[in-house]
Amino acid sequence: MSKHFLPPLSPDDLPPTRVTQLDELLLRQLEEAICKRFFKACSPMTRALLSNCHWYFQINAGTLILIVISYDTESYWHMANVIPQMVEKLKLFSNTAKIRFCPPSDGGIPWEIGVDEIPDEGDVS
């Protein structure tokens, strides 16, 4: 069996070896655009709950992460109850997204869950 080897790529055809300021800017713009689209896709109740927390998106090593920081225990528990709905909306953007959920500073440690770890609402019997 003969093997065909392709000639090496020229440096211009290779991906960059370091992240440029333009790459960082485009990544931030992508996070902001996802943030706006995600908020619009959520139900009015979820939007109201998100408005009572600090939340944002971060893309880390190609993984989309929704970070939610609750300021008080009540909003923390309300947000915990809508995680299945938020997961469904996150799946519109990425099947491998995660939610990092941070309780109030005196209420425990942050935890993280992947959208692929929660069954679809229709799958639960």
Higher-confidence residue of 49 and 19: namely 49
Beta-bridged to residue 55, according to DSSP, are 68
Quick one: pLDDT band at residue 13, thresholds 50, 70, 90?
Answer: confident
Q: In this structure, is residue 35 part of a structural domain?
A: no
pLDDT at 119: 64
Count of the separate structural domains present in the chain: 1
Angle at 98 between CA 57 and CA 86, to 5 degrees: 80
Q: In this structure, is residue 93 part of a structural domain?
A: yes
Q: In this structure, is residue 118 part of a structural domain?
A: yes
Q: In this structure, is residue 9 part of a structural domain?
A: no
Q: In this structure, is residue 7 part of a structural domain?
A: no
> Can you tell me the distance from the alpha carbon of 64 to that of 25, in angstroms, rounded to the nearest whole number?
16
Average pLDDT over residues 66-90: 92
The identity of residue 81, as a single letter, is N
Q: Which of 77, 117, 122 is nearest to 98 (CA)?
A: 117
pLDDT at 120: 61
Domain that holds residue 74: 44-125
Q: In this structure, is residue 75 part of a structural domain?
A: yes
Q: In this structure, is residue 125 part of a structural domain?
A: yes
Residue 114 backbone phi and psi in degrees, to 5: -85, 145
Quick one: pLDDT band at residue 43, thresholds 50, 70, 90?
Answer: very high
Radius of gyration, alpha carbons of the chain: 19
- Give the N- to C-terminal CA distance of the chain in Å, as an integer: 53
Specify the pairing of strand 63-69 against strand 98-102: parallel
Quick one: pLDDT band at residue 18, thresholds 50, 70, 90?
Answer: confident
Quick one: pLDDT band at residue 105, thresholds 50, 70, 90?
Answer: confident
Q: In this structure, is residue 62 part of a structural domain?
A: yes
